[in-house]
Structure 1
Amino acid sequence: MHRKPLLNLLLNHQPADENEQRMLEQTIQFVQNHADCFERHLQIGHVTGSAWIVSPDRQKVVLLHHAKLDRWFQPGGHADGDPDVLAVALREAEEETGLLDLNVIGPGIFDVDVHTIPARQNEPEHLHYDIRFLLEAATDHPFIRTRETKDVRWVAYGEIESLTSEKSILRMKNKVIAKN
């Protein structure tokens, strides 16, 4: 079963709080019930992969200003049929930031989030079941700009709240701070 590796990762993930626990349970149920969970054509929702990219000193994180949603997020995107969500997170991080020397930190999932994507053009409102991995990159590599982003930058943890109040972003920030 192509979903088994992801289900194993999900079953071994330790959520940070009750909210993430609920989203983890939702994600497990979604993956178990939808063989096409990695496909964008599944209109109720689909699995996505994201990267929380930290600096070697763990004092900064890469955030990008999403052009369509006009909000700050971590790099990430659609699986487009790929059941290897870590590979998806790495690919999306490279495509959206230009960072090539990304190192995976830890053996499993860093964070799980379920969030609503608003309806746009030919796409109905749907859910993203986002599987997030902790990565590290050097801060001296230049970023690229893409049509999907308005800005990409290293953000110190103390500055994150000036860009976003997104609960999942703040949860991931707090996870890294707690590990240091």
Structure 2
Amino acid sequence: MLQRHQPFNEEEGTMLEQIIQFVKSHSDCFERHLAIGHVTGSAWIVSPDRRQVVLLHHAKLDRWFQPGGHADGDPDLLGVALREAEEETGLHTIKVVSPAIYDVDVHTIPASASEPEHLHYDIRFLLEATTDQPFVQTAETKGGRWVKEDEIDKLTTEKSIIRMNSKKK
């Protein structure tokens, strides 16, 4: 799947190459115990009209991100993205728009009391959900919401969020 992904820009292309090399070098790349980093799966959830996206306010990092999380050994990253999206949002109408990779990103996760600083090699998929359901609040988030695509930059300056929003859906 990584070999078939077409990066949006040079920055994403560089990260794609980093992820490919990481996966080739670490047979346990999907395991959270790999302290230098691990592959994660995320969901870019859009509304049926493609004018809104789901963002979650991350509790520990105090920033807005897309749903996603650890693979915990599961190499089915689309399945991971779906599972994390449902768990973190509470939305029950989530469906896959395409099984192809939508975006890739490599980012640093700061050290915590239980983990050293490490990298997330994040594989993102395009999903869709209806906007008529309430969000759940989890221990990992301060809540979630639908955000109009032209208002995303009011909540975040995260390059990867801006990049995903710039892609044609």
TM-score (norm 1): 0.92
Compute the displacement of 1:122 (Å): 2.3
Which residue of the other structure, out of 75, 99, 104, is the alignment partner of 2:96?
104
Letter in structure 2 aligned against 1:118: P
Letter in structure 2 aligned against 1:29: Q
CA distance in 2, matches of 1:107, 1:84: 11
Within-5 A mapping of 1:1-180: 9-175=1-167, 178-179=168-169
Compute the displacement of 1:61 (Å): 0.1
Letter in structure 2 aligned against 1:124: P
CA RMSD between the two structures: 0.7
CA distance in 2, matches of 1:100, 1:10: 28
Note if contact 2:99-2:125 (Cα within 8 Å) is conserved in structure 1. no
CA distance in 2, matches of 1:83, 1:32: 13
Detail structure 1 runs of 4+ shifted over 2 Å in the superposition.
none
- Count of matched residue positions in the alignment of Structure 1 and Structure 2: 169
CA distance in 1, matches of 2:89, 2:52: 15
- Which of the two has greater strand per residue? 2
Percent identical pairs in the alignment equals: 73
CA distance in 2, matches of 1:15, 1:141: 32
- Which of the two has greater helix per residue? 1
Letter in structure 1 aligned against 2:137: R
